[in-house]
Amino acid sequence: MRRPPVIALISDFGYRDWYVGVMKAVLLSRCPYATLVDLTHEIPPQDVAAAALVLASALPWLPKQAVALAVVDPGVGTERALIAAEADGRFLVGPDNGLLALALDRSRRKKVVRLTQKPYWQKSISATFHGRDILAPAAALLAAGRSLVSLGPVQRRIRPLSGFEGIRGNRPGGGRVVYVDHFGNCITDLEAGMLKAGERLRVGRRRVRVVKAYAEGRKGEAIALVGSAGLVELAVNQGSAAKRLGIARGAAVTIEHRP
Amino acid sequence: MRRPPVIALISDFGYRDWYVGVMKAVLLSRCPYATLVDLTHEIPPQDVAAAALVLASALPWLPKQAVALAVVDPGVGTERALIAAEADGRFLVGPDNGLLALALDRSRRKKVVRLTQKPYWQKSISATFHGRDILAPAAALLAAGRSLVSLGPVQRRIRPLSGFEGIRGNRPGGGRVVYVDHFGNCITDLEAGMLKAGERLRVGRRRVRVVKAYAEGRKGEAIALVGSAGLVELAVNQGSAAKRLGIARGAAVTIEHRP
Amino acid sequence: MRRPPVIALISDFGYRDWYVGVMKAVLLSRCPYATLVDLTHEIPPQDVAAAALVLASALPWLPKQAVALAVVDPGVGTERALIAAEADGRFLVGPDNGLLALALDRSRRKKVVRLTQKPYWQKSISATFHGRDILAPAAALLAAGRSLVSLGPVQRRIRPLSGFEGIRGNRPGGGRVVYVDHFGNCITDLEAGMLKAGERLRVGRRRVRVVKAYAEGRKGEAIALVGSAGLVELAVNQGSAAKRLGIARGAAVTIEHRP
C-alpha cells in the first residue's frame, strides 16, 4: 500500500468556528486516506505575509509528495486567480496573492498552474469560501496522485509578496523583524549566513549579543541567535523578546560589525 | 479495505487542557483506524446554542457514514439523557439538551436512540466526564460499523434548543445575530432565500447594503451577504463587523424592502 | 495489518506558529502510518510542572504501545539529557527536566534510556529545537516498533519535578491547587481517596461542600468534587471557581474533618 498522503493546512480561520473542520471534511471526502496536519490556523486575519513566512518555513520539512493547502484570501469572490504549484517534489495550493511566493522563491524546481477545471470544484461555488469549494478539492486531487497539469494551464508568473523583499536579505547590514512568535521571539529577515561570530545586533539603541542557544542568555537578557527556521531571531531566555525590547513586526535590526 | 471512518469532534473543552486528547485516546483505543477531525473545541463554556449552530453548519459537509461527537454538557452527572442519532446517512452522538436539535431539524431521514447499553461504556463512569466515558465509546462503535439500534432503544422526541427558534426564519422580516465568528462576521438566523436582490439590512439605525462577496465592500464598510453556511451575515471587508457595528449575539436585524 | 500507532503530543509551542506542524512533519516522514493526537500545545511557556500534570493525567488513557512526545524544554541547547521511557506498556519521550517524572511515578513497570544514538537524529541539529531534531525522530522510531534499548543506554535515575511534591498527597490534611483548567476548575494535589463523605474543603476563609457532580452545585456556588483525573477539584456549576474564589495555582486547600 502507498503511504498515506500528507495534506498540511494553513489559514487565518482560527480554531473557534467550523471553517477548518468543513475544509477537512471536503479533503477527506475526496481523499479518504490522507493524513491531515495543521501548520496553523491562527494567522492574523488577512495577513498574507505572516502566512507566507510560515509556509516557507514549514514546507521543507514536509514529506515528499505532501500537499500544503494555504488559505489566507482577502480577495475571495473577486477576480484574483487560484493556483497550484509543484516545488522540489511537494505541492502547494492557494490564492495567487503572494501567499505562495516565498516558498516558491526558495525552491529550485517549480511549476505553477492556474486552477480552471470547474468539473473538479464543488458543484455550487460560494462567493466567500473558495478554500472549501475550489482549493480543497484541488489539494485532495494532488494528494490522491493526480498530476499538477491536469488541474489547469501552466502560469508563468505569480504575484509577488508585497512589503516583504527583505527576506532575501538584500539590504546590506540591516533587516527587519518579520514575525513575532507566541514565545515573543522576534524573527528577522536576516539569513543565518549573514551573521558572523563576534558580531552584535543593534535594535534601536540597544546592542544585543549573539549566542548559540536560548539558555545561554542570562535571565531577562535579550540575545540574538539563529532560530529553527534558519533566520536570525531576537529572544530572551525564558521570556519574551518582544516585551523586553518593546518591539513588534517591522522593527529595524542592524548588524554591528566589530571594529 | 473500507475507507477510514471519520469522527468529527465538537466541544467546549478548549485546547489548553488534556480533555480533548483523552477523548481522542478513547476513540482510537476502540476504533484504531478512525480519522479524527476537530470541528472546534472553543465553543464558549456551556454554550449549547453556539455548538448546535456549528454542528448543523458542518454536518452536511462530512462524508457519509461519518460520526459527529458533540460534547457541551452543563448537565453532566444529572439525569439528562445521552443520545445517538442517524441523520441522512451520518451519525450524531451527544447529550439530549438541544445540542443535536438544529442538525436533526435540517435532516430528512433521522432516527434517535437513547444510550443505555452499559456494557459499551467505560467500566468506571465518572460524574464529570461522560464525553470520555459514555459518548466517545458510542461514537467509536458507530464509526466501527455497529448499528445505531444496538446502542439503545429508539427515542421518539428530543429536547428542543431553547432560545433559538429564529433559525428557521419564521419571524417575518426580522432576525437576530446568532453567532459571531472569529473574523467578527455576524451570522444571522435569516436563511439565504429570505433576502431579495436590492434589499438592505437594517441593524439599529444603520442601513447595510447587500453584496455577493466580502471584497465588494469598501474599506471599513459594513455589508450583508449570504455566508458559507447559507445564512445571511454582516461583514466588513478585511475588518470586523461586530466591532464596526458595535453589535454582539442577539442583535436584531431587519430586512428593509424597497419602496 | 498492525493497527496504526498513536503518537500523542504535548508542548508549549502554541497553535499560532509552525513549530507543531514541523514536528508532525518529521514524525510522519519517519512513521507515515502514525495517527497523531494533540494532548495540548498551550502549556504556558516553559511551565514544566503544568505539562507534567497533563501528561500524567492523559497517559493512562492512551492505547497500549502509544508514544507520548513531550516538549517543554527551557534548557534546550544546554547539557540537559534527552530521554525515552517505557511505562506500563506505553512510551514517553522528552527532556530530562522533570517533565516525565509524575507519569513515571504513577507507573509500575518502567525503564528509562538516554537518547545518545546520533545516527537516528536529524543530520543537522539546531541549538533551539531538539523537539524536531532529536525527540521527534526517537518518538517515530518507537511508534514504528523499534525497541527502547536501541535508542541509548539505560539511565537509572531521572530528574524529579521541582516544586510539585504535593501530588502524592503526603501532607496530612492539606494540599494545593496545582492546575487551573480553561473552565476555571481548580485541580488540587489531593487524591480522590483522601476526601471522606461529609467533609468540607477550606480555601482561605471559605468552606466548600463536597458533591459528586458539577450540576449539584447551586448557581454560583463553589463546590468540591473528584474530577476526571482522579484528583479533588474546586468548581462552580456553569461558572469559574478560579474567579469565584479569587484563587490561582498554588492556593492552599485544607480538608475540614467533621467534629
pLDDT of residue B214: 81
Cell 527502547 -> residue: C148
**Number of residues assigned to chain A:** 259
- With CA atoms as reference, the chain C residue closest to B4 would be C4
pLDDT band (50, 70, 90) for residue C70: very high
Which of B1, B24, B183, B240 is best to mutate for the A interface (most A CBs within 10 A)?
B183
pTM of the model: 0.90
What cell was used for B89?
446517512
Dihedral of the CA atoms C159, C165, C170, C172 (nearest 10)?
A: 160
Residue A205 DSSP code: T
- Whether the pLDDT of residue B135 is over 60: the answer is yes
A partners (3+ CB pairs within 8 A) are: B, C
- Do the interacting molecules here have an ipTM over 0.95? no
Q: Which of C4, C212, C238 faces B127 most closely, judged by CB atoms? A: C212
CA pair distance A232, C249, nearest whole angstrom: 36
Strand partners, C231: C191
C140, C133 contact by CB (below 8 A)? no
What cell was used for A234?
531576537
CA contacts within 13 A on the Cβ side of B237: 20
Q: Which of A14, A18, A126 faces B39 most closely, judged by CB atoms? A: A18
- Whether the pLDDT of residue B40 is over 90: the answer is yes
- With CA atoms as reference, the chain A residue closest to B219 would be A74
pLDDT of residue A258: 66
pLDDT tens digits along C191-226: 877 777 678 899 988 999 998 888 888 988 999 998
Cα A41-A44-A50 angle, rounded to 5 deg: 90
Residues of C in contact with B97 (CB under 8 A): none
At C133, give phi and psi (nearest 5°): -90, -30
Which of A6, A22, A73 is best to mutate for the B interface (most B CBs within 10 A)?
A22
Q: What is the DSSP string of A40-84?
A: ES-S-TT-HHHHHHHHHHHGGGSPTT-EEEEE--TTTTSS--EEE
Q: Which of C3, C213, C229 faces B76 most closely, judged by CB atoms? A: C213
pLDDT of residue B165: 54
The neighbour count for residue C178, using CB atoms within 10 Å, is: 25
pLDDT tens digits along A122-169: 988 887 899 999 999 999 999 999 999 999 999 999 999 876 655 554
CA pair distance C66, C6, nearest whole angstrom: 5
Distance from CA of A143 to the nearest CA of B (A): 15
pLDDT of residue A257: 76
Asked if B25 and C227 come within 8 Å (Cβ–Cβ), the reply is no
Asked if A21 and B58 come within 8 Å (Cβ–Cβ), the reply is yes
The better pLDDT of the pair B82, A164 is held by B82
Residue type, A88: D
3-state DSSP assignment of residue A127: coil
At C52, give phi and psi (nearest 5°): -60, -40
Q: How far is CA C146 from CA B55, C100, C115, C143, in A?
A: 41, 20, 13, 7
Asked if A213 and C132 come within 8 Å (Cβ–Cβ), the reply is no
- Share of chain A residues as helix, strand and coil, in percent rounded to the nearest 5: 25, 30, 45
At C139, give phi and psi (nearest 5°): -60, -40
- Whether the pLDDT of residue A170 is over 90: the answer is no
Asked if C25 and A181 come within 8 Å (Cβ–Cβ), the reply is no
Query: Alpha helix (H) ranges present in chain B?
Result: 19-30, 48-58, 101-105, 130, 136-143, 241-245
C144 reaches B (C-beta below 8 A)? no
Contact residues, A window 9-68, toward C, CB-based 8 Å cutoff? 10, 15, 35, 37-42, 54, 57-58, 61-63, 66
pLDDT of residue B228: 72
Q: Could you tell me which of C175, C177, C189 has the C-alpha nearest to residue C242?
A: C177
Which of A28, A42, A182 is best to mutate for the C interface (most C CBs within 10 A)?
A182
Q: Which of A35, A42, A215 faces C15 most closely, judged by CB atoms? A: A42
- With CA atoms as reference, the chain C residue closest to A9 would be C21
pLDDT tens digits along A95-120: 999 999 989 988 999 999 999 999 99
At B17, give phi and psi (nearest 5°): -100, -170
pLDDT band (50, 70, 90) for residue C163: low
Rg of chain A, C-alpha, whole Å: 20
